[in-house]
Each structure stands twice: as C-alpha cells, then as structure tokens.
C-alpha cells in the first residue's frame, strides 16, 4: 500500500485517513490519480470539494454515498455516480439496524477497498454487475440466518459472498484454529475469492486453459468430491513441496485462488516496504538470499524473479520481528520452487506475458 502526504502540511497520510491530524484538512481518495488528497470546499456548492493542489477551474468532486456511514473515503466526480467503483460492486450489505453490523460492514469495506486498490494498480479488468449481469464482479455481505444455518464464504460466476462473521476477529480466529489454518484474515478472503473471478476472466475466457492445466492440474475434476475428500482426509503430508497452502491441494481451482491471493499479499506488502524504504542486510552472513532492498515498483511489468528475491528475505526478517514480540509469524508459509513457479504464472497472467 502506498503512503501519501498532505498537500497542505506534508503530514504522512495513510489510505483510510479521512482528515489530516496536523492541519485538519478533510481528505479524500482519488482512485484515477491514486492519490489521497487534502480538500477544500467549493464555494456555494454544499458537499462539493476540490483537491487542494488543483486550480480553481479543475473538476470538483463529492464523496461516495457510503461516506455518510464512515464506510468509504473515495471521491466521485460531482454530478456523476453516487457510489465509487469499489462501492458499486456491492450487491448486498448487512442490515445496518442490527447491533454491530455497521462496525462489521466498515471492516468489510476496508478490506474490499484495499482489494480494489490493488486490482486497479495491476490494471486488471473490473466489470460491475451492471456492465456484465451474468458474470460481473459483485459482493454479498451476509449474516447467518436466524434458523441456525451458516452463510458460506465463496464465489459463483463473479458473485462473491463474504460471511459477516468473518469481520468478527474472535470468531475468525476461532475458525482458523478449528480448521487448522496457518493464516485467516478478512483481506485474505477477498483476495482468495477474487482469484476465482479472475480465473474465469483471464484463464477460462483468456485462452490459457492448456497452460493452466499443465501447471495446476485439470479443473474438470469433480469439485465437490475433491472438497469432500480434502475435508475428510486433509492435505497430503508433503504438500509444502508443491503448494502455497494445504487448502490449495483440494482442487486446481483452489490451488489457483490460493496462489492468486498470495501473489496479491506479496505485491501489496512489497509496495508498503518500498514506501518505507525497507531493506534487509543481516550482519551475521553475506548470503545474498538473506539480503534485499525493496526499491522497485512491484506492480510494474517485468519478470517475477525480482519480486521473489525481495519477498523471501523480507519475510524472514519480519517473521523474526514478530517472534520477538511474541506474535505468530507474519508470513507462516514456505515457498518451494513449484509454488514459486505458480506465482510466476499468476504474475505473467496478470501482465499478459504468458505464451499464447
């Protein structure tokens, strides 16, 4: 995630900020410019704003309608759509009259906006349900029904359902432990499920099925039977030799979605590391595999190798820092060469550099 600076006072700003703590200016995110801008109200136009650094004749903006619930800080052109692109993707939001739903929905929106930020930085196509009623990207945020049933997080033809209880930190952690997972986060759910959407868009509809099957396996294998087998038997004991996670072993679709999610984890974190000027240069060894300087743009086209070479030593260092604080590993995964090859496939798929 990029860092920003206030155009009024140069205070460092973060993606979700809505006001500068130093000078008090209202802040809004301009997705087309990838900029969090200090704003000034347009004289005589209630609710209309102009970025502080632009001329008085520059276009004016309003906040996305979900800003009224403190669930969005993105700007839209004045006179345009009421909702920003990220919020246009919502098909169903929770009943906000229910206790705790507003707080849970805000957490969901924070994760979803970070997801959409990354998709835009990667120049990935985003078709809304209005643009593509059959396969466009949309989100349902659903609470469990009163009859005791459970909403399942998942994807179907572009529609991503996120169970509202995933926004409850205690419930999510309990589920992580119960299911024996190394990692379970709200943002991770978004990144995984959107991987299924982009499998449809980029692999199935993009003419890359043969290459996908050669690397991930044949997705025509019975999906429900594969999931049932996974939940009954679990992953093979040597899954780390070929997969990014144990769940990736369940079916080629899940292998791709897990790999996709990890790729988004990696490029987003490397962008943050770059913003902070992070480097790793340990003092007890001159092993180049333990050294890196994150001085490149991880979203730029090019080979995957620089990303892998930066990611591995960075995770070693941050895992060690977490352990020093008594926390679990920041990135509790081992990326064997076959897993790195799959990550490179996702990288090349996104940047359009896979063989035809």
Residue 155 β-bridge partners = 160
* Residues 143, 94 contacting (CB under 8 angstroms): yes
Residues 103-113 have a mean pLDDT of: 97
Give me the chain's average pLDDT, please.
94
Question: Is there a contact between 240 and 320 (Cβ–Cβ < 8 Å)?
Answer: no
Please tell me which residue, 283 or 138, carries the higher pLDDT value: 138
Higher-confidence position of 262 and 58: 262
Query: Is the per-residue pLDDT at 56 higher than 70?
Result: no
The tens digit of pLDDT for each residue in 195-248 reads 999 999 999 999 999 999 999 999 999 999 999 999 999 999 999 999 999 999
Distance separating alpha carbons of residues 115 and 3, to the nearest angstrom: 16
pLDDT tens digit string along 175-204? 888 888 888 999 999 999 999 999 999 999
pLDDT at 54: 73
Q: How much of the chain exceeds pLDDT 90, in percent?
A: 85
pLDDT in the model for residue 262: 97
> What's the pLDDT at 181?
85
pLDDT the model gives residue 290: 87
Cβ partners under 8 Å of residue 118, min gap 6: 264, 267, 268
Residue 195 CA, distance from chain mean position: 10
Per-residue pLDDT tens digits for 262-299: 999 999 999 999 999 999 998 888 888 889 999 999 99
**38 pLDDT tier (thresholds 50, 70, 90):** very high
Q: Contact at 8 Å (CB) between 20 and 4?
A: no
Per-domain residue ranges of the chain:
4-82
The pLDDT-based confidence of 79 (bands split at 50, 70, 90) is: confident
Mean pLDDT on 88-112:
95
Is 99 in contact with 156 (CB distance < 8 Å)? Answer: no
* pLDDT for residue 352 is more than 70: yes
Confidence of residue 50 (pLDDT cuts 50, 70, 90): very high
pLDDT at 356 > cutoff 80: no
**Average pLDDT for 143-148:** 88
Two structure tokens written together for 232: 């009954």
With 70 as the cut, is the pLDDT of residue 117 above it? yes
Residue 249 has pLDDT above 80, yes or no: yes
Strand bridging mode 138-142 / 90-92:
parallel
3-state helix/strand/coil string of the chain = CCCEECCCCCCEECCCCCECCCCCCEEEEECCCCEEEEEEECCCCCCCEEECCCCCCCCCEEECHHHHHCCCCEEEECCCCCCCHHHHCEEECCCCCCCCHHHHHHHHHHHHHHHHHHHHHCCCCCCECCCCCCCCEEEEEECCCCCCCCCCCEEECCEEEEEHHHHCHHHHHHHHHHCCCCCCCHHHHHHHHHHHHHHHHHHHCCCCHHHHHHHHCCCCCCHHHHHHHHHHHCCCCCHHHCCCCCHHHCCHHHHHHHHHHHHHHHHHHHHHHHHCCCEEECCCCCCHHHEEECCCCCCCCCCCHHHHHHHHHHHHHHHHHHHHCCCCCCCCCCCCHHHHHHHHHHHHHHCCCCCC
Q: Is the per-residue pLDDT at 57 higher than 80?
A: no
Enter the tokens of residue 159. 């529609």
């Amino acid at each position: 995630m990029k860092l920003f600076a206030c155009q009024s006072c140069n205070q460092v700003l973060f993606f979700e900020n809505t006001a500068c703590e130093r000078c008090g200016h209202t802040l809004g995110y301009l997705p087309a410019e990838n900029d969090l801008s200090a704003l000034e109200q347009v004289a005589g136009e209630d609710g209309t704003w102009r970025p502080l650094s632009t001329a008085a004749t520059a276009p004016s903006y309003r906040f996305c309608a979900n800003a009224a619930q403190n669930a969005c800080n993105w700007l839209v052109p004045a006179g345009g759509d009421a909702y920003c692109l990220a919020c246009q993707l919502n098909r169903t939001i929770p009943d906000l009259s229910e206790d705790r739903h507003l707080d849970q929905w805000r957490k969901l929106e924070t994760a979803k906006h970070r997801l959409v930020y990354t998709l835009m930085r990667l120049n990935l196509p985003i078709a809304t349900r209005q643009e593509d009623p059959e396969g466009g990207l949309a989100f349902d945020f659903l609470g469990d029904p009163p009859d005791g049933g459970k909403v399942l997080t998942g994807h179907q033809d572009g529609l991503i359902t996120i169970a509202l209880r995933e926004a409850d930190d205690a419930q999510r952690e309990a589920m992580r432990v119960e299911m024996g997972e190394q990692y379970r986060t709200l943002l991770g759910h978004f990144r995984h499920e959107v991987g299924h959407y982009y499998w449809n868009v980029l692999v199935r509809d993009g003419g890359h099925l043969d290459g996908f099957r050669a690397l991930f396996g044949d997705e025509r294998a019975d999906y429900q039977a594969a999931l049932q087998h996974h939940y009954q038997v679990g992953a093979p004991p040597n899954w780390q030799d070929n997969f990014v996670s144990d769940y990736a072993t369940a079916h080629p679709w899940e292998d791709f979605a897990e790999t996709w999610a990890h790729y988004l984890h990696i490029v987003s974190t490397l962008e943050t590391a770059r913003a902070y000027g992070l480097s790793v240069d340990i003092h007890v060894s001159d092993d180049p595999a333990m050294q890196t300087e994150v001085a490149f743009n991880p979203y730029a086209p090019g080979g995957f190798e620089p990303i892998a070479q930066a990611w591995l030593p960075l995770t070693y260092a941050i895992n060690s820092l977490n352990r020093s604080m008594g926390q679990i590993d920041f990135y509790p995964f081992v990326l064997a060469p076959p897993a790195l090859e799959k990550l490179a496939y996702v990288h090349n798929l996104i940047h359009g550099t896979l063989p035809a």
